[in-house]
Structure formats: structure tokens, C-alpha cells
């Protein structure tokens, strides 16, 4: 990933996290604060509605208690059954006038009508010409039984039964009724019932603190809807409130037809009716939605600004690094003529100046040391191809002289022929890369001579995959390793010794192993040899011991390490009294 891309992503991530964190925290705080305020305000409003409703209900109750102010009305109730028709008519007239006067003296804007019933269901008086229910209908009605059960407490009813001939009559929204009697004669009483419009609730709903989308809902004692503000009635809202409005007061969120709403409610301790305020979520958190939109737009704007800033500053930061990268590639290809252009004094400019200085020093080092060392290694390698170990030559000549004393003509012939083959192979400088088969022929000649010298002490084995005889090797790979096995392993061992050459395929590389079961090497000496096997570039300034005047293990290691680098592996293992094993693992030579 390019640095410019990393910077761009970093800017985006930082700004995204910052805006997201600030937006989330601010939105959460605003949401929580606003929610708490709205819920508190909702409860205060419904408490105010409940208070206004209770005050109005108290006033209506007091109007219904008008007969208690005059004992003659109570006496009339007690002896109504014993009255003659004229007395009954006069009593009904006076009772009706009393309530007409009460409702007219204290005007009630939502008042529609009143009826007065005796305990047997007989209609005593009414404020309009409405056709009365039969006594049986009155006695069996829910409101009458509930009023009697209240035993002197006012009963507020939201279910107003309508008679068949009242299609054109004004329908009441609710009614209040009370039982009036002399406590000394409880079986004789009257029930006064007054019916009202929804004017009270409409006036309550015209509160300046209410939003346009909010609704006021009034539920009676049995959670039946009495009033719902607004132009339309929502049946889903009524069903939701009926199930969930319980307890003295509370608040909850609900979903109605896919819209989320907050409902705050209180229950009147006087009438047991519930006042509910329903506010849509959009009405409450509409401003928060604007904040959310503003945050999103701000984030988009920040991303655009970030993009231009990252491009502008990223180019200023990455362009010098890109120039430095191009210069490194030129050096990688061997071109040391290009220098990094330095036109700034910050850290990147200092890196460029130091890189130019390093490049100058590296070029001088290569020209004065590395190239000379390579030439020197080439000369040494050419000399090694044309020479043979003097110690080996002297011993071979001594053996030839000794055998000639005994006139062993056949052995002298074999050694002379093998020695000639080896000289011919070593002095042939035409190819540096040879096949495994050619190397094995050389090793056969070498070991024939050594077998004659050591009188059959050396046992030679090959474990080679058939298809690898044509594999390529560097010339003089096997002889230094086999020679090391002969002189440092088998020669010092009592009795016979075995040298095994193994060549196999390991994944996509060639595995070559030369092992012997000779005397082995001590751990200290083995560590010294391993320490000396380092890349050639690290060995250029190290002096070579005077005794290293032949091709040895270090030379084989260096030649393969120079050619293959990290793709080449070299392992040398040995144990005193057990033997030594040298393994080379390298890729095939390119054609």
C-alpha cells in the first residue's frame, strides 16, 4: 500500500472517528435531555388537565346536590309514594325548577340536559322534551346501577345510551349522576343525571403548550375513550391506550400504524378517569433529526476537505520518497550516476542528503574494493582449475614409485590413467557449469586412486535419482567435499570407511549430500567451520589463513552463495566417532 493511500485512509479514519464520536455524544446527550424534558413536560400537562377536569367535575357534582339545601325536597323524596297525583305533580315541578335554576344561575357551557328519576325508574323531571326511557330500562341500565352502587358519590359515565327516536337529538359525550336520599330512609331516593358535550375537553386541549400534532385523549373509569382531540379518531390508538394505560400515572412509547409516539397519562383520584397526552416522536425529536442531518453533511464536507488536504500534503510527503525509490531501483540495476534531488531541509531532505552520501561511498567501495575482489576471485578460481593439491600429487607420486618397486604394472596403469583423467578435467577451463554425471566421473577417478593408496579401505556408494544425472552443478563441487571426507574422516579411522554421495529432489530444489562414517569433528572445530561460512561480501576484508591454498568447503559454499543467495542452503553436521555429513540445497540452474 502506498504511503499516500495510507495517509488518505488515516485522515479519513481520524476524521470519521472524531465526527462520529462528537456526533454520537452530542446526539445522545441531546436525545436524553430532550426526552427527559418532554416526558416531564408531558406529565405536567396531563396533571394540569386532570386538575382542570377534577375542578369542573366538582362543580358539576355540587349542582347535582341542590336538593340537600332544602329539607322539603328530602321530605318529598321520602313520602313521594304516598302523595296523590296533584302533590306528585307539584313536587316534580318544584324539583325540576330547582335544577333549572341551578344550571341557569351557574351556566355550564357543555351542559345539554338533565333527568331526575325515582328509585323505581320513574322519570320525575327532565330539562327537555326527550322521550324518557321506561322505568324498566332505567333500572336495568349500567349507569343507574353504578350510580346506586356509589351510594351518594357522583358517578361519571362515558357510555351514553341513545333511544331509537333520538336520531336528530344532540348526542352527549358523557354524563354525571348521583343518588340523593335521606339517610334515615335509604330505600327511597332519586337519581339526578346530567349530560354534557365535549366542550370541557376541547377547551383543555387548547393549551398553548401543546404542539399541533399532539393529542389529548380522555378515558373513563373502564378505559373507554370519551374524547380524542383532532379531526379524526384513531382506532389503533384507542386499542393501544386501553391495554397500556394502567396505574396512577406514567409514560411509555408505543407504535401506532408504524408511527412511534410518547404517551403520558394520569388517573384522577376523584373520577377515576384518565387524561392522556400523545405526542409523535417527530414532534419531539424533529430538531434532533436536523442535528443528525447537519452532522452527516458536515462529515461529507470534512471528507471532501480531507481528500484535498491528503492529496496536497500527501504528494508533498510522498513525492520525495518516490524519487528516492526510483533512485534505489537505478542503483539496483547497477546505475550509480543518478542522485536524489534535495530541495527541502526537513527529515526527508536529510534522508536524501544522507542517501546521496551513502551512494557516493558505495560507488567508491564497489569500484575500489568489490570489483577488485571479484577479479581476484576469478583469477584464483582460474588458477584452482589448473592446479591440483600438492599434497595429493606428492602422495600419488610416492605411491607410483613404491608400486614400481614391486612391479605392479596393472595398479600403476590404473592410477596413471585416473590421474591423467583428473588433470584433464581440472585443466579444462571451457565450462564452469557441468553435469552431475561429469562430476561423478571425476569422483570415480579420484576414488580409484585413493582406493589403491589405502588398499581397499574406502567404500564408495551412490544414492542418486535417475533423472538427476543430467542436473547442472558448479565445476569442482564434489571433489573438495569428497577429499575432505577422505583425509579428515576415513584416513584417520581404523578399518574401512564408507563415503556416500546422495542426490535427490526436494520440492523444487536439488539436495546434494556427501557423508562419511569417519572419525568426525569435535564440536568446537565444527562451530569454527560454521562461523567461517558467511556470505562472500562479509569475507572480503578478512585475511585468509596461509594454509588455505586449495579448493575447500568454504570455496564451495562461497561459489554457490554468490550465485543463488538466499535460495541456497548449506548444512554441515558431524559427531565425534560417528562421521560427518555436508548437505547442499540449491535450485536448478537456469538454461
Q: What average pLDDT does this structure show over 579-589?
A: 93
209, pLDDT greater than 70: no
Domain coordinates in residue numbering, the chain: 1-314, 339-381, 386-586
- The predicted pLDDT at position 511 comes to 95
Over residues 297-314, the mean pLDDT reads: 75
User: What pLDDT does 504 receive?
Assistant: 94
Among 326-335, 406-415, 416-425, name the most confident range.
326-335
Q: How confident is the model at residue 186 (pLDDT cuts 50, 70, 90)?
A: confident
* Phi, psi of 84, rounded to the nearest 5 degrees: -80, 180
pLDDT in tens, 452-464: 888 888 999 999 9
State the Cα–Cα distance between residues 398 and 411, nearest whole angstrom. 13
Comparing CA positions, the residue from 524, 554, 9, 26 lying closest to residue 298 is 26
Higher pLDDT, 186 or 436: 436
> Residue 164's pLDDT band (boundaries 50, 70, 90)?
very low
Q: How far is CA 546 from CA 280, 289, 389, 480, 527, in A?
A: 100, 89, 14, 18, 20
State the average pLDDT for the chain.
Answer: 79
Summarize pLDDT for 32-46 with one digit per residue, the tens. Answer: 887 777 778 788 888
CA distance 299 to 305: 10
pTM above 0.85, yes or no: no
Topology classification of domain 1-314: Beta-Lactamase (3.30.450)
CATH of 386-586 given 3.30.565.10, 3.40.50.10880, 1.10.3720.10, 3.50.50.60:
3.30.565.10
What's the pLDDT at 255? 83
The predicted structure's pLDDT at residue 436 = 92
User: pLDDT tens-digit profile of 222-272?
Assistant: 888 888 877 666 667 777 787 788 888 888 888 877 778 888 889 888 888
| pLDDT tens, residue by residue, 60-73 | 888 888 888 788 88
Amino acid at each position: 500500500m502506498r504511503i499516500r493511500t495510507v495517509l488518505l485512509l488515516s485522515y479519513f479514519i481520524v476524521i470519521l472517528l472524531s465526527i462520529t464520536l462528537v456526533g454520537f455524544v452530542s446526539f445522545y446527550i441531546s436525545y436524553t435531555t430532550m426526552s427527559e424534558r418532554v416526558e416531564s413536560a408531558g406529565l405536567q400537562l396531563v396533571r394540569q388537565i386532570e386538575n382542570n377536569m377534577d375542578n369542573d367535575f366538582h362543580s358539576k357534582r355540587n349542582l347535582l346536590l341542590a336538593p340537600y339545601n332544602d329539607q322539603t325536597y328530602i321530605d318529598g323524596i321520602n313520602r313521594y309514594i304516598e302523595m296523590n297525583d296533584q302533590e306528585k305533580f307539584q313536587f316534580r315541578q318544584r324539583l325540576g325548577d330547582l335544577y333549572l335554576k341551578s344550571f341557569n344561575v351557574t351556566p355550564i357551557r357543555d351542559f345539554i340536559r338533565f333527568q331526575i328519576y325515582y328509585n323505581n325508574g320513574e322519570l320525575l323531571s327532565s330539562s327537555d322534551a326527550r322521550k324518557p326511557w321506561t322505568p324498566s330500562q332505567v333500572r336495568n341500565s349500567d349507569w343507574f346501577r353504578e350510580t346506586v352502587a356509589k351510594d351518594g358519590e357522583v358517578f361519571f359515565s362515558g357510555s351514553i345510551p341513545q333511544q331509537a327516536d333520538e336520531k336528530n337529538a344532540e348526542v352527549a359525550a358523557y354524563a354525571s349522576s348521583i343518588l340523593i336520599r335521606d339517610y334515615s330512609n335509604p330505600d327511597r331516593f332519586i337519581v339526578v343525571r346530567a349530560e354534557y358535550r365535549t366542550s370541557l375537553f376541547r377547551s383543555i386541549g387548547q393549551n398553548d403548550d401543546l404542539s399541533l400534532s399532539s393529542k389529548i385523549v380522555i378515558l373513563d373509569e373502564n378505559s373507554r375513550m370519551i374524547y380524542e382531540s383532532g379531526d379524526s379518531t384513531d382506532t389503533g390508538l384507542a386499542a393501544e391506550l386501553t391495554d397500556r394505560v394502567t396505574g396512577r400515572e406514567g409514560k411509555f412509547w408505543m407504535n401506532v400504524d408504524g408511527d412511534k409516539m410518547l404517551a403520558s397519562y394520569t388517573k384522577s383520584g376523584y373520577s377515576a378517569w384518565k387524561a392522556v397526552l400523545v405526542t409523535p416522536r417527530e414532534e419531539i425529536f424533529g430538531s434532533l433529526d436536523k442535528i443528525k442531518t447537519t452532522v452527516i453533511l458536515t462529515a461529507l464536507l470534512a471528507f471532501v476537505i480531507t481528500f484535498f488536504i491528503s492529496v496536497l500534503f500527501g504528494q508533498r510527503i510522498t513525492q520525495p520518497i518516490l524519487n528516492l525509490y526510483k533512485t534505489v531501483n537505478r542503483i539496483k540495476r547497477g546505475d550509480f550516476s543518478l542522485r536524489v534531488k534535495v530541495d527541502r531541509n526537513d527529515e526527508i531532505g536529510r534522508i536524501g542528503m544522507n542517501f546521496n552520501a551513502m551512494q557516493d561511498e558505495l560507488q567508491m567501495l564497489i569500484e575500489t574494493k568489490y570489483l577488485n575482489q571479484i577479479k581476484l576471485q576469478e583469477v584464483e578460481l582460474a588458477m584452482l582449475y589448473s592446479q591440483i593439491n600438492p599434497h595429493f600429487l606428492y602422495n600419488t607420486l610416492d605411491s607410483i614409485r613404491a608400486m614400481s618397486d614391486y612391479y605392479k604394472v596393472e595398479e600403476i596403469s590404473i592410477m596413471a590413467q585416473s590421474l591423467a583423467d583428473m588433470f584433464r578435467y581440472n585443466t579444462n577451463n571451457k565450462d564452469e557449469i557441468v553435469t552431475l554425471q561429469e562430476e561423478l566421473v571425476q569422483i570415480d577417478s579420484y576414488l580409484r586412486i585413493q582406493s589403491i593408496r589405502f588398499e581397499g579401505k574406502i567404500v564408495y556408494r551412490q544414492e542418486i535419482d535417475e533423472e538427476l544425472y543430467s542436473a547442472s552443478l558448479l565445476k569442482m563441487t564434489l571433489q573438495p567435499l569428497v577429499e575432505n571426507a577422505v583425509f579428515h574422516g576415513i584416513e584417520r579411522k581404523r578399518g574401512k570407511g564408507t563415503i556416500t554421495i546422495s542426490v535427490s529432489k526436494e520440492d523444487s530444489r536439488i539436495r546434494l549430500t556427501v557423508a562419511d562414517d569417519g572419525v568426525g569433528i569435535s564440536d568446537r572445530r565444527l562451530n569454527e567451520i560454521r562461523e567461517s561460512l558467511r556470505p562472500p561480501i562479509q569475507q572480503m576484508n578478512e585475511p585468509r589463513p596461509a594454509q588455505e591454498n586449495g579448493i575447500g568447503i568454504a570455496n564451495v559454499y562461497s561459489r554457490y552463495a554468490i550465485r543463488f543467495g538466499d535460495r541456497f542452503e548449506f548444512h554441515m553436521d558431524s559427531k565425534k566417532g560417528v562421521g560427518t555429513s555436508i548437505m547442499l540445497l540449491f535450485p536448478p540452474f537456469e538454461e
